[in-house]
Amino acid sequence: MNDRRKVLVVEDNELNLELVTDLLEAHGYGVLQARNGNEALELASREQPDLILMDIQLPEMDGLEVTRLLKQNADTRHIAVVALTAHAMRGDEGRARRAGCSGYITKPIDTRGFARAVENYIEGEAGQEG
């Protein structure tokens, strides 16, 4: 189903990073890891992942700012970014979308629905690009 699709996970919390990595690898995805915005920008540009999962609360540059920069860069703006945030607050989805995110997954991660959500975002993007 997925021919070693690559997902870049941007997350500064080691436990969350490990959890998301394990879930993705269990479903056959290749995983790239970044712990801050600068790593994310460099990896996204160089490795061209199929999807980016973006923690919003990051040191230095936050995830919304990283997403804006990804969307301003011709090398990376085609890559779908999905926000990962602990805030289950009204308004977060709108902020994420305005920054350029395709959608939103809340933490704590629902481990049963997670892989399907990731797949849907990847397939959705592929569909849009025809």
d(CA 47, CA 31): 11
Give the residue with the Cβ less far from Mn ion, 5 or 10.
10
Candidates 57, 65, 68, 93: give the one binding Mn ion (CB under 5 A).
Answer: 57
The C-alpha atoms of residue 54 and residue 119 are separated, in whole angstroms, by: 16
Between CA 121 and CA 92, with CA 90 as vertex, the angle to 5 degrees is 50
Considering the complex, state which of residue 49 and residue 63 has its C-beta at the smaller distance from Mn ion: 63
- Binding residue for Mn ion (CB under 5 A) from 12, 39, 62, 65? 12
Question: In the complex, what is the shortest distance from the CB of residue 103 to Mn ion, in angstroms, rounded to a whole number?
Answer: 18
- Residues within the interface to Mn ion (CB under 5 A): 12, 55, 57
